[in-house]
Amino acid sequence: MNLRLIFPLLVLISWATFAGGSYFLPLHPDDLLLPRILVGPEGAAWLGYDDLGRPIADRVIMGARTSLYVSLCVTLLSLLLGSVIGVFAGWLGGWWDRLAVLVIDIFIAFPGILLAIALAGLLGPGIMNAVMALSVVGWVGFARLARAQTLAVKQREHVTAAIALGTSTLRIAWQHLLPLILAPLIVEATFAIAGIVIAEASLSFLGLGVQPPQASWGSMIRDGTRYMLVAPHMVLAPGIAVFLVVLSVNLLGDALRDKMDVRLRERS
């Protein structure tokens, strides 16, 4: 895998891990420098200052922590919930499967981001409410994939032999199903992270995500839209950060899919 393709993602993880510490990346994202309001990039602040005189570079770095926290939390919750529902729906079949498919179809009928906005509006603004709203929407894709993979795997000989030996359903799911369906779920999770980064920025842009003074790329873009003509760097800096991270995560997902696809490996 070419590390240059995922360099923005590695930078995001480094920023989120070490930003704000006393030794690693000491930042001051909330310091107000009134004489520097809307000043463009310069030596002391290589991305300029915002409408309150805060250094944009420091806020972009702290926004990376917010994006990583939300994306990882939502992905883990969605992966866990969706995988459990999908595996047991595909395994049990019957009316359990029909009920799960009906619920999944109902969720798919609504645009995901609109449903997340509605839920975030009902729950109220805040980072934890944003995580809950995005998790309620995000599990559907994992459930569909886990169900489809389970339906394909449960007819294999080793699974049939385990059933004949009287192995419990939980043990079959853990030892015989999950190892075989884990690879496509991991690939799906990487693509989900990219979507969640955009969704979190969208919620923060609408005022339903991270609240001031905490930094978020979406809220930074919202604040910068009022000064596009006089201070375009307020929008360009967080916008380019979102673009690079989403592109990097998608490239990582493509690389993992090619790496884990047995048919592609056989052709090569």
Domain boundaries, the chain: 51-262
Is a pLDDT exceeding 50 seen at residue 266? Answer: no
User: Which amino acid does the sequence have at 67?
Assistant: S
Q: Please tell me the distance from the alpha carbon of residue 127 to that of residue 210, in angstroms, as a whole number.
A: 5
Helical segments of the chain, H only = 7-18, 56-92, 94-109, 112-123, 127-153, 157-164, 169-172, 178-205, 217-224, 233-260, 262-267
CB 97 within 8 A of CB 181: no
Three-class SS of residue 49?
strand
The per-residue pLDDT of the chain, averaged, comes to 84
Model confidence band, residue 201 (pLDDT cutoffs 50, 70, 90)? very high
Three-class SS of residue 119?
helix
Mean pLDDT is lowest, of 46-55, 158-167, 244-253, for 158-167
Q: Report CA torsion sign: 28, 29, 32, 34.
A: positive
More confident: 257 or 260: 257
The pLDDT score that the predictor gives to residue 27 is: 77
The CATH classification number of 51-262 equals 1.10.3720.10
* Among 231, 262, 246, CA closest to 45: 231
Q: How many CB atoms lie within 10 A of CB 226?
A: 12
